[in-house]
Amino acid sequence: MSRKYFGTDGVRGKVGVAPITPDFVMRLGYAAGKVLASREGGERPTVLIGKDTRVSGYMLESALEAGFAAAGVDVLLVGPMPTPAVAYLARALRLAAGVVISASHNPYDDNGIKFFNGDGAKLPDSVESAIEAQIDKPLLCAASARVGKVRRIDDAPGRYIEFCKSTFPSDLDLHGLKIVVDSANGAGYHVAAKVFHELGAEVIAIGDAPNGFNINDKVGATHPQALQQAVKTHRADLGIALDGDGDRLVMVDARGVVYDGDQLLYVIARDAQRRRRLDGGVVGTLMSNLAFENALGKLKIPFARANVGDRYVLEMMVARGWKFGGENSGHILCLDQHTTGDAIVAALQVLRALCESKLTLAQACAPVALYPQVMINVPVKRRADFQAKPGVAAVVKKAQDDLAHEGRVLLRASGTEPVIRVMVEAKSRVKASRWAKAIASAVRAAGE
């Protein structure tokens, strides 16, 4: 069943443009509240609302509050908190749901709403579909005696900091390490640096001065140049960057070299294998680098590819009973520690591996020498199955024969734009670029 409002990660868009408007978000809160109430068996549900640091968060938070209260649902507010913190708190406090107001790594003028259930997992499609069905029904406010109440939780940051620290072994510490922590001027600005400092590291914090407009602005996991420069300037051992809502991670070594989600997940998986805690394999995505897959293969670690999106990675992990998965963008899931992707928790698992192996980040990531990936977006009128068209299929076949086991070809339709994404990966950037251009040309011709 196609959905009108929910995408792969909640409802998201430009602020002030439907659906990210106060009236719609109030109706969304009301609809979600009615669905949650129907599933609570007569009990009065309570939800927790967190947000990142976008200026529009104040407006959307108030709209959500009003919607939930009108549906007879109590609300707990925690203010700016990372997305994984909201998932943790919803589970720890035995709530009906957690709600995050955030557009993750997007610029400040975007925003979105995403939901977690009481177990700290993203809502299943069936519940999101039920919420959508309720949105277009009349908003009938509960009787005064049943209207929901709203209160603020003041100790939420401290609770989350302690949770993150609990995922790092109690017999280890970070004394002797100098770490730069970049919070992207986002939701982790007041918690991320404290976690690593309280575990013993000397911490230099950057991207920790949000003003409502500078989230992800030339800082954070999607713009690691600021972290690279800070690591070099402060002669730090490592750099850690989150994105705006704290669920993506990239790291930088003492030389300023950036390591992505594939490389960091490899370090975590290899360490789990060493400790005999792997329990299966690793889930990546269609965009995971072939070098990552090959490096896992040398360790005899099974690997599977899900569709792009941490939601699909998680679904495949649960279906297979595996604990570790992620995306090269930096979403890393360690289900032995948390129910969702968490940049701080993932960074601590990498640091654990480094501390116990006595390796540097560069040494630990060395087996994953990433292959160059060349991506070309080809505008099309209809996002059809271009790979099946004879002209395209012939060029793709030639490319695959030429690349053999040292490269990949991937064609996929964008879920948000009228384009076909052509990706070619090879040990040689020249070869990857040549075949990407050839395939893009064939796709373009097929669409004319």
- Per DSSP (E only), the strands in 230-331 are 238-242, 249-253, 258-259, 282-285, 303-306, 324-326
The active-site residue, picked from 104, 183, 288, 329, is 104
104 among known catalytic residues: yes
Q: Map residue 164 onto helix, strand or coil.
A: helix
Query: CA–CA separation, 106 vs 102, rounded Å?
Result: 9
Peptide bond into 418 cis (omega under 30): no
- N-to-C CA span, the chain: 31
Mark out the alpha helices in 252-309 (DSSP H runs). Answer: 261-274, 290-298
Query: CA–CA separation, 142 vs 160, rounded Å?
Result: 33
Q: What is the side-by-side order of every strand in the sheet holding 303-306?
A: 303-306, 282-285, 324-326, 332-334
Pairing of strands 249-253, 11-14: unpaired
Buried b (16+ CB within 10 A) or exposed e, 247-281: bbbbbbbbebebbbbbbbbbbbbbbbbeeeebeeb
CA R_g for the chain = 22
Residue 115 tokens read as: 């939901």
Neighbours of 208 (CB within 10 A): 18
Which residue has tokens 């940051």?
157
Q: Chain centroid to CA 90: how far? A: 18
Query: CA–CA separation, 264 vs 251, rounded Å?
Result: 8
Which residue has tokens 């069943």?
1
CA-closest candidate to residue 74, choices 148, 12, 135: 148
| Catalytic machinery residues | 104
